[in-house]
Chains A and B, each alone.
Chain A
Amino acid sequence: EDKVVQSPLSLVVHEGDTVTLNCSYEVTNFRSLLWYKQEKKAPTFLFMLTSSGIEKKSGRLSSILDKKELSSILNITATQTGDSAIYLCAVEAGYALNFGKGTSLLVTP
């Protein structure tokens, strides 16, 4: 059975801190790993990772995939209160996405 596990499940940090969110997976026919940010409603797409070791960056967010360790991390530097959200990791295997339960991040002023 395909499995995607995110850790930690929740996290509280102060504005300006750097956070690292983890995602590990066990799937057959791995195709890609995706990160989404979910605020009050629908998830918005952040990154898609297919190759091991290549970092993707967007502003203060970055992510990297380690296919050997079957894992990925999402880093957020200089956190802001607007980063408060649930961060979802999803692994594409076959026809659709398998989602982890998410990491709930709260950034306090």
Chain B
Amino acid sequence: DGGITQSPKYLFRKEGQNVTLSCEQNLNHDAMYWYRQDPGQGLRLIYYSQIVNDFQKGDIAEGYSVSREKKESFPLTVTSAQKNPTAFYLCASSRDIFYEQYFGPGTRLTVT
């Protein structure tokens, strides 16, 4: 079954701790993306990667970091520097940046 998996589905952390969200795809897509969704808001781009070992900041990259060491994987770290980390995080991938994006099931992060 081809698709995008994100884990975990729900994540709870204490303030001040870094946390890493996993995103894996087996669609052989070159491009991968991380978005954040807050209630009543559209999706906002955090980071994207066009190819392995390369990634670019999106609109709200502050307090986040990513890596792209393998084509299939694009983990997102939410650092303690992110002021409002509680949100729904969506990972997406596309054949390349000019094609439609497909989304994983998301991770709901709650920081208290």
A: residues with CB less than 8 A from B are 4, 31, 34, 36, 41-45, 48, 88, 90, 92, 95-102
Number of A-B pairs, beta carbon distance below 8 Å: 46
Q: Is the interface of B mostly helix, strand, loop or mixed?
A: loop
Q: Please, how many angstroms separate the alpha-carbon atoms of A107 and B103 in the complex?
A: 25
In angstroms, Cα B100 to Cα A92, docked, is: 9
Q: Is the interface of A mostly helix, strand, loop or mixed?
A: strand
Count how many chain B residues have C-beta atoms less than 8 Å from C-beta atoms of the other chain: 22
Bound-state Cα–Cα, A45 to B40, Å: 20
The residues of A that contact B101 with a CB separation of less than 8 Å are 34, 45, 97
Chain B residue numbers with a CB within 8 Å of A96 are 33, 45, 48, 58, 97
Is A43 touching B90 in the complex (CB atoms < 8 A)?
A: yes
